[in-house]
Amino acid sequence: MSNHKLLQTWRWYGPNDPVSLQDVKQAGASGIVSALHYIPHGEVWPLEDIKERKAIIEASGLTWSVVESVPVHEAIKTRRADADKYIENYKQSLRNLAAAGLKTICYNFMPVLDWTRTQLDLEMPNGAKALYFNWTDLAIFDLHIFKRAGAEADYPAEIVAKAKTKLETMSQAELDLLRTNVLMGIPNEKEIELETLRASIEEYKVIGHEGLQKNLAWFLASIAETCTELCIKMTIHPDDPPYPILGLPRIASTKEDLVAILRSVDQPFNGICYCTGSLGAGTKNNLVELFEAVKERVYFLHLRNVSKDEEGNFFEADHLGGDVNMYEVMKVVTAENSKRAEPIPFRPDHGHQMLDDLNKITNPGYSAIGRLRGLAELRGLELGITGNY
C-alpha cells in the first residue's frame, strides 16, 4: 500500500494554447498532457520535435506526463490496403516518444470524428457556459444539413418530429453554427469536411461494429511487441458520446466493450483512459462497476461530470455535480492508486467557461478557470477520502 496522491495533470495544447504553463502551475497541476497537434495524422512524430515540446514544458518546472493523443490514422481504423505503412509510422512515433521518456499514450478508435457536441456555450443558471449534446440538434444536422441517406431510421420518431419543428425556427447562421460545432475537431488539427465524412460513413457501413472491433484488435496486436519492449502503456479513450452517431459504429462505450478490448490483446500495455464524462453520458453505464471491471489496466483518468435528461441529451456539469457520483468514483480510484507503484495521472477534463474566461477566446472545454475549479474540487475530494495530507 502506498499513500501517494493521484498525479494532477492538465491538458496543454502547446505554445499556441491561450492557457500558459504558468497558469497551469498556479492551478496546482504538476503534470502536463500534451500532443504535437500540428503533425498530420499518420505521420511520424520526429524525436527532435518531441524533445523540443518536452524542453518547453520542463523549462517551466512541469513534467510531460501523458501524450494525448497519438492519433490513429483512418487507414488503420478501416484497415485499408495501405494500413501497414501507418502501423510502421505509429510504431516509429512510439519509439521516438519512448526515447524521450514518454510512456503513457492516449488514443481513441472513434471513426472519423473525435468527441461530438451540438452546442459549445450552453448557459448555466449562474451564467457560466458548458458544452452540450442534444439529439434533436444532432438530428437537424444529420437529416437536414448533412442529409445522410436513411438517417431517419436512426432516431426515435419524436426526435425526428422535434427536429423538423425546430428547423423551421432556425436562421441560416444558427444552422451554420450547428454544422461547425458537430464537425469541430481538436484545436490545431485539420477540420473534417462534409464530403470526407460522407465517404467515411460508406466505408464504415461495410466494416460494421464487429469489423471495427477486429481492426482495433489488429492494431493492438501490431503494436504489442513495440509497446512491451519500450514499457509503453496505451490507453484507449472511450467514445464520446458513448453511442453510435451518424451511422458510425462505436466499440468503446460500455463496460462490456472495454473488457472485450482488454481481452482482445490481453497484455499489460493494453490499457484504458477512464473518462467519467464520456462513459457517464451512457444511460446504462455504472461508473463504479465499470471501473472495478477494468481497474488494473486504467493508466489515465479523465474526471468530469455530465447531467443527462430523459432523452439522453446531456450537458457538462460541475465536476462534483451531475450524474456521476464523483465521491464513489474517487473512492475506488484512490483505492486502486494506493496499490500502484506509480501514481495514476488524472486531469480535470473540461470545465465551464466562467468568470474572466467568458471574455476570452478559449478552446471549448479547455478554458483555464473552470478546469482550475474542477482540479481544486477533485484534489480536495481525494484528500478528504484518503486523508493523505
As measured in angstroms, the least distance from the Cβ of 185 to ligand DNO is 9
As measured in angstroms, the least distance from the Cβ of 226 to ligand DNO is 19
* Residues in 27-56 that interact with ligand DNO by CB under 6 A: none
Q: Does 352 bind ligand DNO (CB under 6 A)?
A: no
Q: Which of 49, 52, 114, 311 binds ligand DNO (CB under 6 A)?
A: 114
Q: Which stretch binds ligand DNO (CB under 6 A): 46-54, 102-110, 223-231, 316-324?
A: 102-110
Residue 207: all three cell numbers together: 466494416
| DSSP assignment letter at 186 | S
**9 strand-pairing partners:** 31
Q: How far apart are the first and last CA of the chain?
A: 16
Q: Which stretch binds ligand DNO (CB under 6 A): 106-114, 144-152, 215-223, 246-254?
A: 106-114
As measured in angstroms, the least distance from the Cβ of 92 to ligand DNO is 19
Residue 172: all three cell numbers together: 441560416
As measured in angstroms, the least distance from the Cβ of 37 to ligand DNO is 11
Task: Say how many CA atoms lie within 13 Å of 188 toward its Cβ.
Answer: 16
Q: Which stretch binds ligand DNO (CB under 6 A): 48-56, 101-109, 202-210, 328-336?
A: 101-109
Closest CA to 372 of 351, 389, 346: 351
The smaller minimum CB distance to ligand DNO, of residues 137 and 349, is found at: 349
Q: Does 302 bind ligand DNO (CB under 6 A)?
A: yes
The smaller minimum CB distance to ligand DNO, of residues 264 and 363, is found at: 363
Q: Does 316 bind ligand DNO (CB under 6 A)?
A: no
The smaller minimum CB distance to ligand DNO, of residues 151 and 238, is found at: 238
Amino acid, res. 256: E
**Residue 300 CB burial class (10 angstroms; 0-12, 13-18, ≥19):** buried
Q: How far apart are CA 4 and CA 332, in angstroms?
A: 15
Residues serving a catalytic function are 237, 275, 302, 349-350, 366
Q: Does 237 bind ligand DNO (CB under 6 A)?
A: yes
The smaller minimum CB distance to ligand DNO, of residues 151 and 239, is found at: 239
Q: Which of 107, 269, 299, 314 binds ligand DNO (CB under 6 A)?
A: 107
Q: Which stretch binds ligand DNO (CB under 6 A): 104-112, 161-169, 284-292, 374-382?
A: 104-112
Closest CA to 129 of 367, 348, 324: 367
As measured in angstroms, the least distance from the Cβ of 236 to ligand DNO is 8
As measured in angstroms, the least distance from the Cβ of 77 to ligand DNO is 12
DSSP string covering 21-86, please?
Answer: HHHHHHHT--EEEE--TTSPTTS---HHHHHHHHHHHHHTT-EEEEEE--PPPHHHHTT-TTHHHH
Closest CA to 136 of 173, 167, 113, 111: 167
Closest CA to 298 of 6, 2, 5: 6
Q: Does 129 bind ligand DNO (CB under 6 A)?
A: no
Q: Does 108 bind ligand DNO (CB under 6 A)?
A: yes
Q: How far apart are CA 254 and CA 264, in angstroms?
A: 15
Q: Does 106 bind ligand DNO (CB under 6 A)?
A: yes
Residue whose CB is nearest to ligand DNO in the complex, by number: 69
CA-CA-CA-CA torsion for 130, 134, 138, 144, nearest 10 degrees?
-110
Q: Which of 69, 93, 118, 276 binds ligand DNO (CB under 6 A)?
A: 69
Phi/psi region, residue 371 (left: phi>0; alpha: psi -120 to 50; beta: rest), is alpha
DSSP string covering 150-167, please?
Answer: TGGGGS-HHHHHHHHHHH
As measured in angstroms, the least distance from the Cβ of 35 to ligand DNO is 8
Contact footprint for ligand DNO (CB under 6 A):
68-69, 106-108, 114-115, 186, 237, 302, 349-350, 365
